[in-house]
């Protein structure tokens, strides 16, 4: 394909951008260097408009097509932030920032969207407008929500929005997608169990919060096994159990539990958190203790729009020869906020046989760049054809 061939030619240049970002990872909203580089590249490409500071440190570029008879505006989004992980890849361009690395491939996503923006700015072979969106703080900060609250969709009159994530274990440059619920809601919770501390040799004089907390951990498993439809996807995991006591002979006055609830349905999401609160409080009460439940709402379920998903799969087939049906994923993705505001689709592109994301040995595979860039460019040219 001509587009894919063009990106093969651009591969060394795009790879250099990606590796520069890899060497200089930034976390959450502190993506100042990355955002400045992105904005500078977009201006160099000749974008019609470049705006910084959207969603704190997000960048938006506007590219107008050769014609605008359609009046359509399509948004393309990439994330820019890294993770607080010490890199163990051993590559020559490894992170120069201790304790930070691009362990999820956002450097690759940003580089691929920059490559697509360069191509689209050169050719403008489409009828309408493209808005390229570079988002901070996908890794837990809700940068997508921040950009939307800053007026992203209305200010640039975006009609549809598309995103992409590399996927280790998928064949290099292949694609997978699914309509409807795709990535899970990512709620978190804390449970503080307060009893009565004392000497471990006199448990009858205490209300042991460690025992109560343990009973709560076990009872919470009934949410999935007995109160949710067996065919529904739901995860309830207690991931931390802490006490104030460090001694062998002290029963502490309280314990602190933390965990996460993952769901792929809004109604089930609400139900799970209601049951979690009820189970924790009633279990504690049965033992004479008190349980305080703190709910930290996370990203919503990411839902691909049916029409845009079908179109995205057709484009992926043009680029790679076929497109697979992706599995349901219990991880979270804050592109969900953008899909709540506009129809669109999110697709996976194969990273090959690499370490998984969020692993200290993970590295984005630069050979996936032509396929990813081509998919974004084809989304624009096929959705907004000239003439």
Instruction: Write down the pLDDT at residue 1.
Output: 54
Burial letters 356-374, b for 16+ CB under 10 A, else e:
ebebeebbbbbebbbbbbb
**Radius of gyration of the chain measured on its C-alpha atoms:** 24
Q: Are 76 and 162 in contact (CB under 8 A)?
A: yes
What does the alpha-carbon distance between residue 84 and residue 139 come to, in Å, rounded to a whole number? Answer: 10
Output the CA torsion 85→86→88→90 (10° steps).
120
Burial letters 71-107, b for 16+ CB under 10 A, else e:
ebbbbbbbbbbbbebebebeeebbbeeeebbbbbbbb
What does the alpha-carbon distance between residue 222 and residue 48 come to, in Å, rounded to a whole number? Answer: 56
Q: What is the DSSP string of 54-76?
A: ETTTEEEEEEE-SB-SS--EEEE
Along the 387 residues of the chain, how does pLDDT read in single tens digits? 557 788 999 999 999 999 999 999 999 999 999 999 999 999 999 999 999 999 999 999 999 999 999 999 999 999 999 999 999 999 999 999 999 999 999 999 999 999 999 999 999 999 999 999 999 999 999 999 999 999 999 999 999 999 999 999 999 999 999 999 999 999 999 999 999 999 999 999 999 999 999 999 999 999 999 989 898 899 999 999 999 889 999 999 999 999 999 999 989 999 999 999 999 999 999 999 999 999 999 999 999 999 999 999 999 999 999 999 999 999 999 999 999 999 999 999 999 999 999 999 999 999 999 999 999 999 999 999 997
Nearest to 193 by CA among 279, 270, 273: 279
Nearest to 162 by CA among 2, 369, 347: 347
Which residues have a Cβ under 8 Å from the Cβ of 174 and sit 6 or more positions away?
320, 322, 323, 324, 349, 350, 371
Q: Which domains are present in the chain?
A: 2-181+301-383 (3.40.630.10), 185-296 (3.30.70.360)
Q: For the chain, how many residues are written? A: 387
């Amino acid at each position: 394909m001509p587009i894919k061939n063009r990106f093969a030619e651009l591969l060394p240049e795009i790879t250099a951008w990606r590796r520069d970002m890899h060497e200089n990872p930034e976390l959450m909203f502190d993506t100042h260097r990355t955002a400045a580089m992105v904005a500078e590249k977009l201006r160099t490409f000749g974008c019609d408009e470049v705006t910084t500071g959207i969603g704190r440190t997000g960048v938006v570029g506007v590219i107008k097509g050769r014609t605008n008879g359609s009046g359509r505006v399509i948004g393309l989004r990439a994330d820019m932030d890294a993770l607080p992980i010490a890199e163990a890849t051993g590559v020559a361009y490894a992170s120069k920032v201790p304790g930070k690395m691009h362990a999820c491939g956002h450097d690759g996503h940003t580089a691929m969207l920059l490559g697509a923006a360069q191509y689209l700015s050169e050719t403008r072979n489409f009828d309408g407008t493209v808005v390229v969106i570079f988002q901070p703080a996908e890794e837990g900060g809700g940068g997508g929500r921040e950009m939307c609250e800053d007026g992203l969709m209305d200010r640039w009159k975006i009609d549809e929005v598309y995103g992409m994530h590399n996927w280790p274990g998928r064949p290099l440059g292949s694609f997978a997608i699914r309509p409807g619920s795709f990535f899970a809601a990512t709620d978190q919770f804390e449970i503080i169990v307060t009893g009565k501390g004392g000497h471990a040799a006199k448990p009858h004089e205490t209300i042991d919060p460690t025992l109560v907390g343990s009973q709560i951990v076990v009872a919470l498993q009934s949410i999935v096994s007995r109160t949710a439809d067996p065919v529904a996807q739901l995860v309830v995991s207690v991931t931390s159990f802490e006490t104030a006591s460090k001694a062998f002979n002290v029963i502490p006055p309280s314990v602190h539990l933390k965990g996460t609830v993952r769901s792929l349905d809004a109604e089930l999401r609400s139900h799970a958190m209601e049951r979690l609160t009820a189970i924790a409080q009633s279990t504690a009460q049965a033992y004479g203790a008190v349980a305080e439940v703190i709910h930290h709402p996370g990203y919503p379920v990411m839902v691909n729009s049916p029409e845009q998903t079908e179109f995205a799969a057709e484009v992926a087939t043009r680029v790679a020869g076929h497109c697979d049906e992706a599995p349901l994923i219990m991880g979270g993705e804050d592109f969900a906020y953008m899909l709540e505001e506009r129809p669109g689709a999110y697709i996976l592109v194969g990273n090959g046989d690499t370490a998984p994301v969020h692993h200290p040995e993970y590295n984005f595979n630069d050979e996936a760049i032509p396929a990813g860039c081509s998919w974004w460019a084809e989304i624009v040219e096929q959705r907004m054809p000239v003439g």
